[in-house]
Chain A
């Protein structure tokens, strides 16, 4: 069975500082990986995804993530955060070739950017 672990439930950071949100997964087969962002009282918006190819994936709003197969990780990074990045971030995984219904989410990381 697949699982996703987001190692930090909350990450406070000052504006213009770099940030890394950590995500580890477990799966016995190849996977697709995703990061979603959720602003207060809104739905989830796709930030970026890894399907295949280059392990460094660039997404919207200046975020990027690196797929590390040996460490089964997909950490999200941004070199300089803004107040507007304050939100909850979810890592998710789906088996390569698996049912489209089987998207497994982590429990989320709340990013709080302080001035």
Chain B
């Protein structure tokens, strides 16, 4: 298994509060990603990073920001959580060749 740890694994928060999800990798891979998974939509890319302080938007980036100050950590922040952001969030990393993406175990977020 790829060394990917997500925290927290489960969180319930109130509408309007800020939330930060953390992804930690032990593989020293350059590329890291945040996806969200919703029924009927599969997985959709939120943001990704191609190096320290280098990030780019994905398909569903509105309402989310990211930061990567160290190779091993990629943070996803919901500045003001909304009910539409209730979802399962997956962190992922790429193999050095970029031909395989490995996923973490997921973070279940409920916004009430």
A and B interact physically: yes
Contact A103 B45 (CB under 8 A): yes
Contact B90 A105 (CB under 8 A): no
Q: Which of A73-115 contact B (CB under 8 A)?
A: 90, 99-103, 105-108
Distance of A36 Cα from B102 Cα, bound (Å): 10
Distance of A100 Cα from B45 Cα, bound (Å): 12
- Residue B48 at the chain A interface, CB threshold 8 Å: yes
Per-residue contact bits, chain B 88-105, to A (CB 8 Å; 1 contact, 0 not)? 001000100011111111
Contact B99 A32 (CB under 8 A): yes
Contact B41 A43 (CB under 8 A): no
Contact B99 A51 (CB under 8 A): yes
Q: Residues of A contacting B31 with CB < 8 Å?
A: 100-101
Interface residues on A, range: 20 to 34
Distance of A105 Cα from B105 Cα, bound (Å): 17
Contact A90 B42 (CB under 8 A): yes
- Residue A11 at the chain B interface, CB threshold 8 Å: no
- Residue A44 at the chain B interface, CB threshold 8 Å: yes
- Residue A7 at the chain B interface, CB threshold 8 Å: no
Q: Which of A28-63 contact B (CB under 8 A)?
A: 32, 34, 36, 41-46, 49, 51
Contact A107 B50 (CB under 8 A): no
Q: Residues of A contacting B103 with CB < 8 Å?
A: 36, 43-45
Contact B104 A43 (CB under 8 A): yes
Per-residue contact bits, chain B 11-40, to A (CB 8 Å; 1 contact, 0 not)? 000000000000000000001010000001
Contact A101 B56 (CB under 8 A): yes
Distance of A34 Cα from B50 Cα, bound (Å): 21
Q: Residues of A contacting B58 with CB < 8 Å?
A: 101
Besides A44-B43, A101-B50, A105-B43, 4 other CB < 8 A contacts? Answer: A36-B103, A42-B105, A45-B103, A107-B40
Which residue numbers of B lie inside 8 Å of A, CB to CB? 31, 33, 40-45, 48, 50, 56, 58, 90, 94, 98-106
User: 9 tightest A-B contacts by CB?
Assistant: A101-B48, A43-B103, A100-B98, A105-B42, A107-B42, A44-B103, A105-B43, A43-B105, A100-B31
